[in-house]
Chain A
Amino acid sequence: MNINLTINGKSYSQDVEPRLLLIHFLRDVAGLTGTHMGCETSLCGACTVELDGKAIKSCTMFAVQANGAEIVTVEGLANDGKLDPMQEAFWNEHGLQCGFCTPGMIMAAKQIIDRHPSPTEDEIRHGLEGNVCRCTGYQHIVNAVKAAAAGAGK
């Protein structure tokens, strides 16, 4: 099946098997390996990307379902070498350790401040509910989202 989609501003037109998962399209076809497969069941959030403005889990979506969509992955966040404020905040606040959940976590975190420009701690924590981090205990991630929100509000 032929699909057309845009990833990080770049157009892709490709024949794919109908069963090809979106995450495998991103990783294997587009070569964007920043998005990680963590659980294959949409429960860990390592594969979170933005699809038409919404954070989705790319491990449980077929590539054909994304036909016509605009997708942003973690590789699409930094602009001309300048980090996205959320990336910068994760770095400053030590919001990551092994880094495997981080790309998905950053995508989910961006969605939180899109929805709640000045999120409460509760909103942040619930916004991160679908993303598992096994290293940080989430506290520095919460700090990072707070810092990014505060920075964005300036």
Chain B
Amino acid sequence: MATTTTKTETFVGKRVRRREDPRLITGTATYVEDIQMPGMHYAVILRSPHAAARIRSIKAKQAEAAPGVVCVFTGKDTKGVGVVPCGIAMPDLRVPQHNILATDRVYFVGHPVAVVVARDRYLARDAAELIEVDYDILPAVADPEKALTKGAPAVHPQWPDNIAFTYHQDGGNVDKVFAEADVVVKQRIVSQRLVPMAMETRGVVAEWRGADRQLNLYTSTQIPHLVRTLVAGMLGLEENRTRVIAPEVGGGFGSKLNVYAEEALMGFVSMRIQKPVKWIESRRENFTCTTHGRGHVDYYEIAAKRDGTILGIKLKLIQDVGAYHQLLTPLIPQLSVLMMPGLYNTQNIRADIVGVFTNCVPTDAYRGAGRPEATHGIERMVDILAAELKMDPAQIRLKNFVTKDKFPYATATGLMYDSGDYAAPLKKALDLVGYVKLRQEQADLRKQGKYMGIGISTYGEICAIGPSPATPAGGWESATVKIEPSGKITILTGACPHGQGEETTFAQIAADELGVGLDDILVTRGDTAVVQYGIGTFGSRATAVGGTALYYALQDLKAKIKKFGAMLLESDDVTLVGGQVVCDKTGKAKPLREIAGASYRALKLPPNTEPGLIATRFWEPPNFTFPFGAHIVVTDIDSETGQIKVRRYVAVDDCGNILNPLIVDGQVHGGVAQGLGQALWEQAVYDDNGQLITGELTDYALPRAHLMPWIESHHTCTPSPVNPLGVKGVGEAGTIGCSPAVVNSAVDALSPLGVRHIDMPLTPEKIWKLLAKKN
């Protein structure tokens, strides 16, 4: 019989290789597309080729008669289905009715118009081409600033100004400090639209079991429980008979932190045809129909004293909403405003957001979600200020940091930074990169007419999202720990990690708490029929919030284990150590296996104690966590081609305590790659007619292996006081820290030419033009 191993070896803090990997490296993991069911049909969605048009008619007869086709549904058929939800409530938010299929009008290229269901995916695709849609093409607007101009086409005719929402935040006395400032610098800064581009596109398998009134929905999502609640509502189903399963999820990065039309649509189809149905998003659809990220135009102003002291910050933020609000769309720019002071000690801020409808796919969360934009803004502005004052960019940062004696620190935006030592990672990064020497080398290279730049970014982020009052759907997380009669341990996490490695880190936490080996533990996630309600993985929260729920569930369980152990050992003085309960006096021990067996056999129970070993905790965090760090990027610019080469990338991140350095490194690397992608290559480009002209991988430039620099990843450690693990979260740090460091580096390189700002992406063409103009 298999028994629980008892160990004194500890795992937290070690480079433990991941427990989820065997199925992934052998090709035996099950993603949505891998699911097969008897009688399964395939759906293909016909989408609008136009950004704005009235639908005059849809003729589907030919498609319906095509070989293998079971049915075609259009917006007329799905009128009874609820709208795609926006989860954000705020005053004056204009929420257009977002039907799962277009009815009389389409609002963006890719807008779903009809769904074809056939017994085979090829036949479904053939038939989709036979549907005739008569469109009356209307003028479209794709640029948010153009959309705000008078006379611009109205995305939604009922709101001719295209304003989706506005938001204002004021802290301190901005007018006073701007009036008294020695210097005010201003800059327009764009954080361009990006395509999240998870490697696995979205996909849904819906299986209606009519006799049970039960819908099983397999979907590639970061938030299965929220999808269950909301899709059940859209379809008028009972939530306890709606089961959502996020099987293996091939990347999300925020793009699967949503509830999409197709999730309800496939449920609808399966209920209508009484068969399972599968829809797998094509890559083209993924580009045009899955939410995009960023999409800011920011107008910044910073007021400062001549000595570099920052007095106040003003921001006018134009958020490209797209045609609809998806789940969190209006929230994302508010996260930017929350973090607009960055790491700096200023109590005077003013922000005005205007959310703008455009004939584009909606924007929503993408790795960092509002914080990369905020960091890019403040970190660019601090460099611009330093240049204006002829100060060193490191010195101006050190001068303005919130100092480590000031924590917890209340920001002008209403946050309470938990803990920090902001100078530490910057000083470490400066040392690691050899800053003083590099500046000398730069001076020498400049004499030779060569362009080398050193860019610094010191970022702060808001993570472990978050206290429930600050979130639209609950910011807690849940965990259940079950010790089975054999002593084996099952953890059910509501956080639904999908690539971040919590099947390993959660096992590490539990192994150390219980004193058992990793092999005794299984971490399960992603199935609403198995796992208690949970929120999900996003906002660098899975470990900081979900791991803490686990930690407390383990404490409950440990107390119960000790009770049973004490009973079996007939002693009140016992200790749980190394997977066994030991009597402090006699040294006699009972292993966990025996205690677990006794707890279920229940021949005898400790006083006031129920049988079994299971504990569930829902943990509500008292605050966010605030990781921080410093990234320094050294670039060389080819003056002939405008090509930017990253010579050094030094990242010093402080994410609090580190449970698994191997996994943390991986998170940093991946985050930096996405930040570099934004800084150098990526951009979702819509033309004036609202056509996405970067709608395939041929046109959308992603970071590839040969383009990536070596990332030198280091850390400082300032534990968070918010949770007992002392962790802060690291999933988004790399992305947030990266882009301003790269742009600051390029601007620094080109500063002898009088260059003060360049908008991303820093394509060779853009740089070459600057060089050509100035030379």
Contact = CB atoms under 8 A, between A and B. Distances in A.
Given A74-B26, A134-B253, 13 more contacts: A78-B26, A90-B21, A91-B22, A99-B248, A125-B705, A134-B670, A135-B670, A136-B666, A136-B670, A137-B671, A138-B673, A139-B711, A140-B666
A129 B707 CA distance: 9
B553 to A, nearest CB: 26
A138 B703 CA distance: 9
Interface stretch (A28-36, A50-58, A60-68): A28-36
A98 B498 contact: yes
Contacts of B513: none
A139 B710 contact: yes
A101 to B, nearest CB: 5
Interface string B682-722: 00000000000000111000111110101100000000000
Given A34-B28, A132-B704, A41 B711 contact: no
Interface in A80-94: 83, 87, 90-92, 94
Contacts of A78: 26
B705 A141 contact: yes
Interface residues of A, number: 55
B111 interface: no
A73 to B, nearest CB: 7
User: Which has the most chain A C-beta neighbours within 10 Å: B30, B283, B674?
Assistant: B283
A43 B695 CA distance: 13
Given A91-B21, A91-B22, A125 B27 contact: no
Contacts of A17: 122
Nearest to A75: B27
Interface stretch (B196-204, B334-342, B570-578): B196-204
Contact of B708 (A36, A102, A125, A134): A125
A97 B670 contact: yes
A46 interface: yes
B494 interface: no
User: Taking chain A's interface residues, is the majority helix, strand, or loop, or is none over half, making it mixed?
Assistant: loop
Given A125-B705, A134-B253, A136-B670, A96 B663 contact: no
A125 B697 contact: no
Contacts of A131: 705
A44 interface: yes
Interface in B357-378: none
B250 interface: yes
B33 interface: yes
A124 to B, nearest CB: 7
A134 B197 contact: yes
For the complex of A and B, the 7 pairs showing the least CB-CB separation, nearest first, are A34-B27, A100-B250, A99-B24, A98-B499, A137-B669, A137-B673, A74-B27
A15 B282 CA distance: 26
Contacts of A92: 17
B697 A44 contact: yes
B696 A96 contact: no
Nearest to B711: A139
Contact of A129 (B29, B199, B671, B706): B706
Contacts of A101: 199, 250
Contacts of B698: 41, 43
B742 interface: no
Contacts of B706: 122, 125-126, 128-129
A103 to B, nearest CB: 5
B662 interface: yes
Contacts of B253: 134
Contacts of A71: none
Given A94-B666, A100-B200, A140-B669, A124 B705 contact: yes
A119 B18 CA distance: 26
B267 interface: no
19 contacts: A36-B200, A38-B200, A43-B697, A43-B698, A97-B251, A97-B501, A97-B670, A98-B249, A99-B248, A100-B251, A124-B705, A128-B704, A134-B251, A134-B702, A137-B666, A137-B708, A137-B734, A139-B669, A140-B669
Contacts of A113: none
Contacts, number: 176
B640 interface: no
A124 B711 CA distance: 16
B2 interface: no
A98 B250 contact: yes
A102 B24 contact: yes
Given A102-B25, A135-B670, A139-B708, A36 B665 contact: no
Contact of A73 (B27, B248, B282, B498): B27
A136 B702 CA distance: 13
Contacts of A38: 199-201, 283
A94 to B, nearest CB: 5
Interface string B657-671: 000001101101111
A137 B250 contact: no
A134 B26 CA distance: 19
A91 B705 contact: no
User: Which has the most chain B C-beta neighbours within 10 Å: A27, A34, A77, A129?
Assistant: A34
A37 interface: yes
B401 interface: no
Interface of B: 17-18, 20-31, 33-34, 122, 197-201, 248-251, 253, 280, 282-284, 498-501, 662-663, 665-666, 668-674, 696-698, 702-706, 708, 710-711, 734
A22 interface: no
User: Which has the most chain A C-beta neighbours within 10 Å: B280, B663, B669?
Assistant: B669
Contacts of A36: 31, 33, 199-200, 250
B251 A19 contact: no
Interface of A: 17, 19-20, 27, 32-41, 43-44, 46, 73-75, 77-78, 83, 87, 90-92, 94, 96-103, 106, 122, 124-126, 128-129, 131-142
B480 to A, nearest CB: 24
A70 B261 CA distance: 42
A86 B674 CA distance: 26
B195 to A, nearest CB: 10
Given A36-B200, A37-B33, A135-B499, A83 B25 contact: yes
B378 to A, nearest CB: 24
Contacts of B25: 74, 83, 87, 90-91, 96, 99, 102-103, 106
A35 B31 CA distance: 11
B198 A134 contact: yes
A98 to B, nearest CB: 3
A96 B17 CA distance: 11
A145 to B, nearest CB: 10
Nearest to B250: A100
A135 B105 CA distance: 37
Contact of A137 (B197, B284, B670): B670
A136 B31 CA distance: 19
A10 B596 CA distance: 46
A132 B199 contact: yes
A97 B499 contact: yes
A34 B29 CA distance: 7
Contacts of A99: 20-21, 23-25, 29, 248, 250, 499
Contacts of A90: 21, 25
User: Which has the most chain A C-beta neighbours within 10 Å: B29, B665, B668, B704?
Assistant: B704
B199 A44 contact: yes
B199 A134 contact: yes
User: Which has the most chain A C-beta neighbours within 10 Å: B21, B28, B665?
Assistant: B21
A91 B18 contact: yes
B705 A135 contact: no
Contacts of B29: 99
A140 B670 CA distance: 10
A129 B500 contact: no
B222 to A, nearest CB: 11
User: Which has the most chain B C-beta neighbours within 10 Å: A39, A92, A131, A140?
Assistant: A39
A106 B22 CA distance: 13
B400 to A, nearest CB: 30
A100 B31 contact: yes
Contact of A98 (B28, B201, B251, B696): B251
